[in-house]
Amino acid sequence: MNLIIKGGDVVLLDARVIPVVRVPNRAVLSSEDIRKRLIGQTLKYYDFNSSKIYEITTKTLVTFKELVIFPSLKEDVLEVRLCRELEVRMGPEEIDSYARWAVFVDAITGEMVHQNYLLVH
């Protein structure tokens, strides 16, 4: 841990207290299994007036990216999962076809762990 105090003020506090956790090094679910499990799941997005919900269908564009370690805090416990990072986009024929998300799916269970709506500039 690093702690720097100048003039009575804490100017730097840096700690790395993450335990060593065993995480599988390969996915149990195939990309096709993950794609099937996503159908019917919902993603939140925004237009100029409000938030909306998009339901993933067979026409939804899904790009599979890397396997990543995804940490999250659940009830004061650090949870570490092996996830597949995805980019999810609405199909080109849909009204909000610009909408896209970064989605993280547990590569062992298929659970959607996190979704992040990506703003397009």
Question: What structural domains and CATH numbers belong to the chain?
Answer: 26-118 (3.10.450)
Summary mean pLDDT of the chain: 85
- pLDDT by residue (tens digit) across 72-97? 888 877 788 999 999 999 876 766 66
Look at residue 23 and tell me whether its pLDDT is greater than 90.
no
**Predicted local distance difference test score (pLDDT) of residue 17:** 65
Is the pLDDT confidence value at 65 over 80? yes
Enter the pTM of the model. Answer: 0.77
Mean pLDDT over residues 51-58, rounded? 90
Query: Residue 23 is encoded by which pair of tokens?
Result: 């995480």
Q: How far is C-alpha 64 from the geometric centre of its chain's CA atoms?
A: 12
The answer to whether the CB of 44 falls within 8 A of the CB of 50 is no
φ/ψ region of 59 (left if φ > 0, alpha if ψ in -120 to 50, else beta) reads alpha
Residues 102, 112: contact at Cβ < 8 Å?
no
